[in-house]
């Protein structure tokens, strides 16, 4: 599949950071940046911009805050092709602390929001846009809210927001191809002046397949991570996506080296990937938080009890 | 997705046997059969019927040969809902050794063949059909042969063969959704009097997604394995497929128990699943045999060299 408008965003450090409190050391992040840059991937998302008034830097690593100075240490001396992205959550960022783009190593600000918070996301995004950044709004947990409230949110974005890209985020890894097709078509039809993006989760081994589905229906911004790292089951594996896209600007080999040298050892230390309680969460269209909690207990392979705990929810 | 005609075939022991020389002990196979039976899955494929003149029973386990007496030991005393299937390869079976269905515990005979061997597969299948079995022809490595030769083979099956089901087999895990759609439509349009089946391989994490794609375009026979066990990256995980199909006849819980109790420990002993050299084989539309060989060497995580060895094939 070759389409010139397609952009790939690697969110290895950002989504991977959700499983280690964003505590990757600078040298590791530099290695990832070097490989992503050498592979020709368009963007690399390096973490969240969170307010230090809300989160302690003793509890979290550097990439919970993404200070410009730390980002500069990562990219210093590397001839940059890959742009830098950071994510912000509604209500967790110190807006005045965001410098104008010209004074920052960051190229793109991505605002993650639920449908209910779309007003705030629009306000924030317009602010980032005024400061000169590329912008996205990433609508989380879409699988729980695919009806008229979503339509209204998209219409509001189209009319009130200068955002460049609006993402469908399958936070729970619950979407199959048919709802992905419906969602991408809906987004494209309402957001006539924006690009559409897709961010999959791999709870049911569908992150890559759903990303292909999104591409087929004209989503042009695609998230992926090295070796699929990310919260719970993780994300669409970058190496598979690059293998699928036939754009000659991409080179898979630096990503393969990075997996060989860094991600195989890392997977021994922290857990992500195809794990049954995450698959069950996906089937049930539930947040993986209960499954993540289960994986820290001695009962972590007791799937039946976990399954029944979810199916019985809400039944008296 | 609910469609009454959909049948699920578990080939855990048959395809899983390709990674341990078919050497599962009777007690393990009985546990699998009990769970599959309790889950309401339609068929369980227990192995291959190979001639003992061609393969040594010292070198291979019971499920390379599938003697009727051994199958009886597996199912004895279990109230059967799930039918038993065995697979035969063209040229490897002693046709006269196959008893009439009425004298055998086997319900379905599946013949695996490449397009070039379709004449032989038709001959064998008609023979099995005469003996009273349900039958399938499983066309292997379809990703390498999707053109007119395949069309001719399908037309020949339609006109000369009494087979019940013809399977698309993505042996190399190379198919994306679009070719799956094209193939299922092609099979359905030529094989007007047969059912169409799909057997995916998971090299690129697409076995489940492609199976959904096949369902959407009217394939009704679907292969899967417990926890995705199978050669190289394995197959479509049965637990995901059962979770997707909303047919109330299925119960996922016995499969979850089986994974908890048997397949998590088994995975520590034998390897299958998402492993980069298999992903590379899939991208390159190559048989995984080179990747399987690599995994037995000290170089098993040297992905770049493996990738380059495949990309340079045939270049002087």
- Identity of the residue in A259, A303, A308 whose CB atom sits nearest the CB atom of B260: A303
Mean pLDDT over all residues of chain B? 96
Q: Residues in chain A, how many?
A: 316
Q: Residues in chain B, how many?
A: 316
Hey, of B304, B306, B308, B310, which one would you mutate to test binding to chain A, going by the most A CBs within 10 A of its CB? B304
CA distance B3 to chain A (A): 16
CB contact under 8 Å between A276 and B259, yes or no, is yes
**Residue A273 near chain B (CB below 8 Å):** yes
**Residue B285 near chain A (CB below 8 Å):** no
- Identity of the residue in A177, A227, A302 whose CB atom sits nearest the CB atom of B213: A177
Output the pLDDT for position B312.
74
**Residue B273 near chain A (CB below 8 Å):** yes
CA distance A25 to chain B (A): 23
Chain B residues in contact with A260 by the CB 8 A cut-off are: 276, 301-304
Mean pLDDT per block of 10 residues along chain A (316 residues) reads 90 97 97 98 97 94 97 94 97 93 98 97 98 98 95 98 98 98 98 98 98 98 98 98 94 98 97 98 96 96 95 61
Enumerate the β-bridge partners of residue A222. Answer: A8, A198
**Contact present, B43 and B256 (Cβ < 8 Å):** no
For residues A238 and A266, give the distance between their C-alpha atoms in angstroms, rounded to a whole number: 16
CB contact under 8 Å between A204 and B259, yes or no, is no
Cα distances (Å, whole numbers) of residue B95 to B31, B98, B109: 30, 6, 12
Chain A residues in contact with B212 by the CB 8 A cut-off are: 176-177, 209
Tokens of A77: 């001396």
**Contact present, A136 and A161 (Cβ < 8 Å):** no
A295 CB neighbour count, 10 Å cutoff: 17
pLDDT in tens, B30-72: 999 999 999 999 999 999 999 999 999 999 999 999 999 999 9
| CA-based torsion, A304, B261, B206, B146: positive or negative | negative
B56 CB neighbour count, 10 Å cutoff: 9
Output the pLDDT for position B313.
57
CB contact under 8 Å between B205 and A210, yes or no, is no
| Domains along chain A with CATH numbers | 7-269 (3.20.20.70), 276-311 (no CATH)
Chain A residues in contact with B252 by the CB 8 A cut-off are: 307
Output the pLDDT for position A276.
98
Output the pLDDT for position A224.
98
Output the pLDDT for position A3.
87
- Identity of the residue in B216, B243, B283 whose CB atom sits nearest the CB atom of A283: B243
Report the b/e string of B16-53 with b at 16+ CB within 10 A. Answer: bbbbeebebeeeebbbbbbbbbbbbbbbbbbbbbbeee
**Contact present, A132 and A100 (Cβ < 8 Å):** yes
At residue B128, φ and ψ (nearest 5 deg) are -65, -40
Hey, of A228, A303, A306, which one would you mutate to test binding to chain B, going by the most B CBs within 10 A of its CB? A303
The DSSP code for B191 is: -
Residues of chain B with pLDDT under 70: 1, 313-316
Q: Which stretches within chain B are classed as H helix?
A: 12-16, 26-39, 68-75, 118-130, 148-160, 177-190, 207-216, 238-244, 253-258, 264-269, 276-283, 289-294, 303-311
B284 CB neighbour count, 10 Å cutoff: 18
Output the pLDDT for position A232.
97
- Which residue is closest to A227 within chain B, CA to CA? B276
Task: Tell me the whole-structure pTM to 2 decimals.
Answer: 0.97
**Residue B179 near chain A (CB below 8 Å):** no
């Amino acid at each position: 599949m070759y389409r010139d408008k397609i952009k790939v965003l690697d969110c290895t450090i950002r989504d991977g950071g959700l499983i280690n409190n964003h505590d990757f050391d600078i040298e590791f992040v530099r290695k990832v940046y070097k490989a992503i840059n050498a592979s020709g991937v368009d963007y690399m998302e390096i973490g969240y911009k969170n307010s230090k008034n809300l989160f302690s830097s003793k509890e979290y690593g550097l990439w919970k805050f993404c200070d410009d100075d730390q980002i500069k240490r990562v990219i210093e001396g590397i001839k940059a092709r890959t742009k830098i992205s950071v994510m912000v959550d509604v209500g967790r960022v110190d807006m005045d602390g965001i410098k104008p783009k010209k004074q920052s190593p960051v190229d793109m600000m991505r605002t993650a929001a639920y449908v209910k918070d779309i007003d705030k996301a629009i306000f924030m995004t317009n602010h980032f846009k005024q400061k000169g950044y590329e912008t996205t709004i990433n609508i989380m947990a879409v699988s729980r809210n695919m009806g008229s409230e979503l339509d209204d949110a998209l219409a509001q974005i189209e009319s009130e927001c200068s955002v460049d890209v609006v993402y469908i985020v399958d936070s729970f890894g619950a979407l199959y191809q048919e709802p992905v097709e419906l969602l991408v078509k809906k987004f494209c039809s309402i957001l006539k002046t924006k690009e559409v993006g897709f961010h999959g989760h791999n709870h049911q081994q569908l992150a890559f397949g759903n990303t292909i589905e999104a591409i087929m229906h004209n989503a042009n911004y695609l998230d992926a991570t090295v070796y699929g790292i990310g919260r719970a089951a993780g994300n669409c594996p970058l190496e598979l996506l690059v293998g699928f896209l036939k754009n000659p600007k991409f080179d898979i080999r630096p990503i393969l080296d990075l997996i060989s040298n860094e991600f195989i050892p890392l997977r021994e230390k922290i857990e992500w990937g195809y794990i049954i309680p995450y698959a069950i969460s996906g089937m049930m269209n539930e947040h993986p938080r209960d499954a993540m909690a289960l994986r820290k207990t001695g009962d972590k392979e007791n799937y039946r009890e976990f399954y029944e705990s979810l199916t019985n929810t809400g039944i008296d």
